[in-house]
Amino acid sequence: MSRTPNVDEHLLERLFDLSGKVAVVTGGASGLGEAISLGLAQAGAIVVVADINRESVDGLLAAVDGRDERLFGAEVDVTDKQSLEGLVADVVATHGSLDVLVNSAGTAARHVAEDFPEEDWDRVVGLNLKGSFLACQVAGRQMLEQRSGSIVNLASIGASIAYPHTTAYLQSKGGVAQLTRSLALEWIDRGVRVNALAPCLFDTPLVRASDAKASLTSEWITARTPIGRRGEPHEMAGPAVFLASEAASMVTGHILQVDGGYLIA
């Protein structure tokens, strides 16, 4: 008796192909955002690298030196709703749609809890949590109108566990994880998937700058990471492409740990 295979011979190459998709990566000009921007572009997407630092955006585009015509730049402040609305309007007017949003804009501050400055708390929570919500809200409206889209937030292992001297960061990333779940549930029947990546400590400019001021936090995390090292930014590109693509069509509300085994230890 003959039967038809459930998986056709071109399924995988089609599932991970982002050709024709338009992506925005906030905080996309450095660190994890840069690696994700380049990964999405290599998977075929048109990628708008959106960052508050225009010089960093221009520097990244100059570094690729025309090798990838799918990369475009934009300046945005994710804590400013009007800035985000302008970005989304420009992206749709120029490229016709917005299919993928990656919320990589973020920051951190290290202080003992009893002396944590209020201004640092406001800055970290405002950028990491409020900024993620506003970007999801503004981009989500466009995706809901299209009845299609994938949002990938940047949470952290700090959404699930604690480590020292990062009170505001931990609260903000816990909030991002819950934001991801709540939006996934609200939009699950309207064509929009919402997931998050939860990295451990990665070797980025932000982490190196933090280490220069106070290294105890990084030492604590690295000592407890079974893989025995920090992540490299390019190791976030594959997970981001997966969540953005049709390969993850049945995945929503998920927090994907990219943590070198931290949470199994």
- Is 195 strand, coil or helix? strand
Q: Quick one: tokens of 262?
A: 């931290």
Q: Quick one: tokens of 37?
A: 């921007």
Q: Which of 163, 169, 187, 202 is catalytic?
A: 169
| Max CA pair span of the chain | 73
What's the rounded Cα separation, in Å, for the pair 154 and 240?
A: 10
Look-up of token digits 């402040």:
77
Q: Quick one: tokens of 221?
A: 């995390």
Count the residues in the chain: 265
Residue 169 bears catalytic tag: yes
Q: Under a CB-based contact definition with an 8 Å cutoff, are residues 75 and 54 in contact?
A: yes
Residue 18, strand partner residues: none
What's the rounded Cα separation, in Å, for the pair 210 and 217?
A: 9
CB proximity list for 41: less than 8 A, separation 6 or greater? 47, 68, 70, 71
Residue 194, strand partner residues: 151
Interior angle at CA 87, CA 82 and CA 90, nearest 5: 125
Catalytic residues: 169
